[in-house]
Amino acid sequence: MTLGFFFNNAHCYGCKTCAMSCATTNLPEFDDVSMREVRTVMTDDTLAFAFVSMACNHCDDPQCLANCPVGAYTKLENGIVVQDHDACIGCQTCVKACPYGAPHYVEREQKVRKCDLCRDRLDRGELPACVEACPGANLEYGEIDGLKASHPDATDKIANVLPDPSITTPNLLVAPDPKLA
């Protein structure tokens, strides 16, 4: 069983509630750090833009894990990529290696942090904070094969928006906004 995210890019209106919920749930003492970001994507039409909500995609081939010089990352049986924060030396190699920009350097700690799919919340039977908070229900999490079955038209490729999925094989599916297709 490999867990991942589905994001409905076509219906996201960029409220950033997912990012705010992530920040207040996971790092309330660091009001300037969120492990989920909502990015604005400009299109060829100057009056049209879209939003992409992005966090760690718990990739099958995580570059953070592959490139960490101290082995601070581990991939669990359920696919969640976790970081041993105590082992982190703050070198930011993982930040540079991740094509999705998922690990974030926290200046005050001089260490890196990343999304762990709210593992503690999952252990309590709760949804990840970002998924629970999305007012448009544009984020889902679950077993990636189940998400693929539920969203057969979703993709992990959006040219000029998402990195080439062959780099990491992300556990992310997106229903793309037609303006981006």
User: Which residues fall within 8 angstroms of residue 51, CB to CB, at 6 or more apart?
Assistant: 9, 12, 13, 14, 38, 39, 40, 41
The pLDDT of residue 1 is 85
pLDDT at 32 over 80: no
The overall pTM is greater than 0.85: yes
Nearest to 119 by CA among 71, 86, 77, 88: 77
> Band of the pLDDT at 34, cuts 50, 70, 90?
confident
Amino acid letter, residue 144: I
The pLDDT of residue 42 is 79
What's the pLDDT tens digit per position in 38-79? 998 877 776 678 899 999 999 999 999 999 999 999 999 999
Edge-to-edge strands of the sheet including 172-175?
Answer: 139-143, 3-8, 172-175
Q: 4 with 80: CB under 8 angstroms?
A: no
Alpha-carbon distance 181 to 168, whole Å? Answer: 22
Alpha-carbon distance 14 to 136, whole Å? Answer: 10
The pLDDT of residue 54 is 94
pLDDT at 27 over 80: no
What's the pLDDT tens digit per position in 121-171? 999 999 999 999 999 999 999 999 999 999 999 999 888 889 999 999 999
What's the pLDDT tens digit per position in 92-123? 999 999 999 999 999 889 999 999 999 999 99
User: Which residues fall within 8 angstroms of residue 160, CB to CB, at 6 or more apart?
Assistant: none
Q: What single DSSP character describes residue 128?
A: P
The neighbour count for residue 79, using CB atoms within 10 Å, is 19
The pLDDT of residue 31 is 64
